[in-house]
């Protein structure tokens, strides 16, 4: 593992859950942050899937939030996300140009993997904590166990289809560092301003993670 990755990895290891958020309106960002923190998760990954994402990142830059940017597809997006305040990046795939850029600038990044080839590409750049995506659509925990078996030093962040029903089973698998999920901060809840419900669901996720160990 790159030395500069260790503080971010340790914080995520402690949290066990990364709320994955898609924002339509950057004005919702501050209230969302408050709801997540109140629920016990001082972390958020804003996906770069909407025009509101970059401004949303800027409005979430605060000392008590571990702020990440997801769906990072290019070096240009990586630069913009970091400029907007992201402390770590997450990509859906294993883009060598993106990994090279992050290595050169010491930017924490979790590359997306779905196959052993992806994992080995990430390892070749020194990244041994990777996203497993799309987790449920790609066979879920059964597939992850098969992929993880040859790579004892690799830790995974399953994302895609993670719910409160399957969160505990993923977190109980030792190679899983944390899970990324949007079930506690779904886009429709944010758009409707239902931040009390986001807090409630976040507390549920935290409790599930605590029991999973």
| Positions marked catalytic | 45, 131
DSSP H or E segment with residue 120? helix 116-124
Tell me, what DSSP letter sits at residue 93? S
C-alpha 63, offset from chain centre: 18
Distances (CA, A) of 71 to 22, 44, 113, 129: 10, 13, 13, 16
Burial (CB count <10 Å: 0-12, 13-18, 19+), residue 8: middle
**Minimal CA–CA distance to 118: which of 89, 138, 147, 140?**
147
């Amino acid at each position: 593992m790159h030395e500069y990755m260790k503080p971010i990895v340790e914080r995520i290891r402690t949290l066990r859950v990364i709320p994955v958020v898609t924002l339509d309106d950057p004005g919702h960002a501050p209230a969302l942050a408050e709801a997540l923190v109140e629920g016990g998760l001082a972390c958020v990954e804003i996906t770069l899937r909407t025009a509101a994402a970059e401004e949303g990142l800027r409005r979430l830059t605060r000392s008590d939030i571990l702020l990440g940017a997801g769906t990072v597809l290019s070096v240009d997006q990586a630069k913009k996300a970091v400029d907007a305040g992201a402390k770590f990046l997450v990509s859906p795939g294993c883009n060598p140009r993106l990994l090279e850029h992050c290595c050169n600038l010491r930017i924490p990044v979790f590359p997306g993997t779905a196959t052993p080839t992806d994992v080995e590409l990430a390892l070749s750049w020194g990244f041994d904590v990777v996203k497993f995506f799309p987790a449920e659509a790609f066979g879920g925990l059964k597939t992850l166990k098969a992929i993880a078996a040859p790579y004892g030093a690799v830790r995974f962040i399953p994302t895609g289809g993670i719910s409160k029903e399957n969160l505990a089973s993923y977190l109980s698998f030792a190679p899983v560092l944390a899970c990324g999920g949007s079930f506690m901060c779904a886009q429709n809840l944010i758009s409707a301003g239902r931040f009390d419900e986001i807090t409630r669901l976040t507390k549920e996720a935290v409790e599930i993670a605590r029991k999973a160990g």
